[in-house]
Amino acid sequence: MTAPAFTLCPYRFSDDPPRMINFLTTLGLARTVSSRSESFAILSGRSGRIAVHSSADSAVGAEPGETRLCFETPDGDSARTYLTSLGLDATIVDEAYGRYLHVSDWHDLRVGLNEEMKDFYGYRRHDRPGRAPRVNVVGVWFHVDFAVPETVLRQLGYVPDPPAAAGWQTFRTAEPSGVVGLHTIGAESDPRRSGVGLSFETAEPPENLVERLHTDGHSDARLGSVRGTTIVLVTDPDGQRIEIHRAPR
């Protein structure tokens, strides 16, 4: 059975959502949905999405600056049928804000799987800009053992790129749905828990991005280097370090 689309959409919990949303638009993402209070928004890149959520309104006890791994799928029923065909215990939970899937096999990994929004009452929908965003969203998944998250990613249709470096591996889908990068952490960490960070890939010249970030008030933005490749380093409004790498051609 062919996997339905599972688009990466990590949730960033922020104590200043408007500033975080503005930061992401400066990077080159485009708003697609936002609340009238600006306490919530979904932004899209060329590949992948990000949801910004007020940490003060978090129902899951998330801290400011915390990122949680999440994916969106167009139809929850189709996704459930697919996941159960893999032998997973998947159930649909219907909440006032929408539907999501609970996969008991992933319980300790804190991986979210939401059905895409269908009820936009109280929200604004934004037209996509004429020029497509040049930014890929990268969810960085820190874990002790790559085999555990890799199993989940393959179940969602993500396959590994050629190995990049020891302790780092990126995964993508055939239809661009975002990028997930697995990053090793120390063996002393609890293997059942996982941490998540944000990163990006861009087709824009890094010097141009740094200049725009400076203009927008992010004075610490600078060029850096990873394995001989130029990247952009900047601290986001939630105090988290962000790396922006060159997108593959």
pLDDT reading at 164 higher than 80: no
pLDDT reading at 81 higher than 80: yes
- For the segment 154-159, the average pLDDT, to the nearest whole number, is 95
Neighbours of 212 (CB within 10 A): 15
What is the share, in percent, of the chain residues with pLDDT greater than 90?
69
Domain residues of the chain, as ranges?
Answer: 1-126+134-249
Q: Which residues contact 215 (CB under 8 A, 6 or more apart)?
A: none
Residue 131, pLDDT score: 55
The answer to which of 17-26, 100-109, 218-227 has the lowest mean pLDDT is: 100-109
pLDDT reading at 189 higher than 60: no
Residue 207, pLDDT score: 97
What is the full DSSP assignment across 137-150? EEEEEEES-THHHH
Global pTM value: 0.92
Residue 129, pLDDT score: 59
Residue 141, pLDDT score: 95
The three-state (H, E, C) secondary structure of 5-66, written as one string: CCEECCEEEECCHHHHHHHHHHHCCEEEEEECCCCEEEEECCECEEEEEEHHHCCCCCCCCC
Q: Which residues contact 33 (CB under 8 A, 6 or more apart)?
A: 41, 42, 117, 120, 123, 124, 125, 126
> Model confidence at 121, in pLDDT bands (50, 70, 90)?
confident
- For the segment 203-227, the average pLDDT, to the nearest whole number, is 96
Q: In the predicted model, what is the mean pLDDT of the chain? A: 90
User: 141 — alpha (psi -120 to 50), left (phi > 0) or beta?
Assistant: beta
- For the segment 169-187, the average pLDDT, to the nearest whole number, is 87
CA–CA separation, 86 vs 1, rounded Å? Answer: 9
Tell me the pairing of strands 112-115 and 135-143: unpaired
- For the segment 232-243, the average pLDDT, to the nearest whole number, is 97
Residue type, 19: R
CATH architecture of 1-126+134-249: Roll (3.10)
CA–CA separation, 23 vs 8, rounded Å? Answer: 19
> Model confidence at 192, in pLDDT bands (50, 70, 90)?
very low
> Model confidence at 193, in pLDDT bands (50, 70, 90)?
very low
Return the half-sphere exposure (C-beta side, CA atoms, 13 A cut-off) of residue 249: 1
Dihedral angle of Cα 121, 123, 127, 129, to the nearest 10 degrees: -160
Residue 130, pLDDT score: 53
**What would the two tokens of residue 80 be?**
């459930």
